Amino acid sequence: MVFADLLFLYFFLPVCLICYFITRNATIRNLVLIVFSLVFYAWGEPVWVSILCVSALVDYINGRIIEKHPEGVQARLAVAWSLVFNLGLLFGFKYTGFFVENLNAVTGLKLDVPQIRLPIGISFYTFQTISYTIDCYWGKVKPQRNFMKFLMYVSLFPQLVAGPIVRYSVIAEEIESRKTTIKDFSEGFSRIILGLGKKVLIANSLSSVVTSLFGDAKSGYESIGSLSVLGTWYGAVLVGLWYYFDFSGYSDIAIGLGRIFGFHFDENFKYPFICKTISEFWQRWHISLSSFFRDYVLYIPIFGKRRKYGGLFLVWFLTGLWHGASWNFIFWGLYYGLFIMMEMMIGKKRMKKMPAPLAHFYTKIVIFLGFGIFYFESLPQLVKFFKGLIGLNGNALVDSYTANIFMGNIFLFIAAIFFSLPVIPKLREKAFEKPGSAYVFQSAGVVCNALILLASSLLLSGNTNNPFLYFRF
């Protein structure tokens, strides 16, 4: 089941809310969330619920072992088993085929490449349970003694299938005791509608334009070799905007749903395109993932020592690999690692001295090139993309095809640029400085929410397939 679906919006969610709020008993409310979360997850792939539950059970037991033997070898073995089990699951489902393909290419073997279907959300919930076990070992959180509460944490449907990666420490107190206020309801539903609008009104529209320019994986990206130079750059920018609105839209819905049930998840996106350095971009984009690798991987001793740049490239290699079993994702991760290393060598003070226009130009070029690397999973087509950026495909600077697509989607492009910047939050902040203006702004917000919900529902009524991009990761 997906959030951008009329069945979810007008049946599953209302029934879940009625069952949840009909009682004040915390144990029953937790049970309601567990049942609805497992139904949500099992809607398309019921067989994989067992993997989810086993993963939760393994790390629940690991936490209890650490609690009983905090200084003993048992605790270290529990952490090791958590890593082996969870990363083994992830490798088995996500990377086995990729590993066999490359083994065949290097050795000349002709082993059958297994076609293993990836359980939705496994990249997210395995990281959550790993972080829980490590935090228990480090003494950052108290191990959960109630398995049903821990299962609720792992399976919580707002963030289960595509993040954000919610650490146990963030919601540990709310698992034990929480309440939903009127403000939580209001801001939660507003956030859900905002995310729905990002996905349905903007991201889906941008995806259609990108496909008309580049093609897609199923068609072999057949258009990229014939695009003009400006058409290639335009497509790269649209890919970045599309991915932003799709994934940040999902995160908004997840955070909004969490608020309604009394959970306060950390922000996952903070207007990343206003960044002036690549390091800042990753402090604003998919924050839960970048902070996970920073906190649990960056300082791993490599060959017995903590190596500044070695740890950095390990983080970015794993960041790329996490996104998919394909070489373009690995190149994409190392690409960002290279620029962040360069910024580290230059130093924060010198980077801050860079003129703002130059800083924005530099970061946007790097970012949108990065999205091109991310988009083209076929290496030959990725080469065509880079050649197209500088005219080496033999095509013109601009052509009528690109011009027609640009003019036909000019308002969509302007809207995407506008809403990717913190303009409305700034206006809201100024409006709330004056009581009268605040009332007008709130009233306008209610009207806008109603219009966004109506428009999104109408579009969804004619389209039953609205998967979020990060479902496949």
What global pTM score does this model have?
Answer: 0.92
Which residues does residue 305 pair with via DSSP β-bridges, in sequence order? Answer: 302
**b/e 306-338 (16+ beta carbons within 10 angstroms → b):** eeeeebbbbbbeebbbbbbbbbbbbbbbebbbe
Backbone angles phi, psi at 144, to 5 degrees: -80, 125
Q: Which two tokens stand for residue 225?
A: 């070799």
Cα angle 223-233-421, degrees, rounded to a multiple of 5: 125
How far from 414 is each of 47, 138, 408, 418, CA to CA, in Å?
A: 44, 48, 12, 6
Q: Of residues 69, 264, 286, 323, which has the active-site annotation?
A: 323
Is 323 assigned a catalytic role?
A: yes
Residue 226 burial (10 A CB sphere; 0-12, 13-18, 19+): middle
Domain residue ranges of the chain, discontinuous segments joined by +: 6-178, 184-276+354-472
pLDDT digits (tens), the chain, 473 positions: 788 888 999 999 999 999 999 999 999 999 999 999 999 988 877 888 999 999 999 999 999 999 999 888 999 999 999 999 999 999 999 999 989 989 988 888 888 888 888 888 888 999 999 999 999 999 999 999 999 999 999 999 998 877 789 999 999 999 998 988 999 999 999 999 999 999 999 999 999 999 888 887 666 666 777 889 999 999 999 999 999 999 999 999 999 999 999 999 999 999 999 999 999 999 999 999 999 998 898 777 655 567 778 888 899 999 999 998 889 999 999 999 999 999 999 998 899 999 999 999 999 999 999 999 999 988 888 999 999 999 888 888 888 889 999 999 999 999 999 999 999 888 877 777 777 777 777 788 889 989 999 999 998 887 755 667 766 66
